[in-house]
Amino acid sequence: MDKLASLWSLVRKHKYLITLVMFVVIVGFLDENSMVRRLGYTREESRLHEEIDKYRKEYEENTERLNELSVDSGAIERIAREKYLMKKPNEDIYVFEGDIEE
């Protein structure tokens, strides 16, 4: 019984500190909207914004190529040669390792 009484006096003496620690643990880790989850959501949001920027840039490049193809008739041949390594029947093509895109 002495241990229980000493524990109760410890709780009464430090009740505000215990309450504060419990609040921080619940809000920081256990809650549905905890700080840990919020940090994860913030990282995910920044990654998605980077991905959006990447796809927007890719879209703009592809739109520019499409406009180029519709205006210039020689552009189709140039793109076929560069990207798809197509050639005329009497030509030889030399491809260097540094020129190949993955």
Q: What DSSP state is assigned to residue 32? A: T
Per the model's pLDDT, the better-predicted residue between 11 and 44 turns out to be: 44
Tens digit of each residue's pLDDT (9 = 90 or more) over 51-68: 999 999 999 999 998 888
pTM of the shown model: 0.54
Note the pLDDT of residue 101.
60
Rounded Cα distance between 39 and 47, Å, is: 12
Rounded Cα distance between 66 and 75, Å, is: 10
Rounded Cα distance between 92 and 102, Å, is: 22
Q: How confident is the model at residue 69 (pLDDT cuts 50, 70, 90)?
A: confident
- The answer to whether residues 56 and 49 touch, using CB atoms and an 8 Å cutoff, is no
Rounded Cα distance between 58 and 39, Å, is: 29
Provide the residue ranges of all domains of the chain, joining segments of one domain with +. Answer: 1-31, 33-88
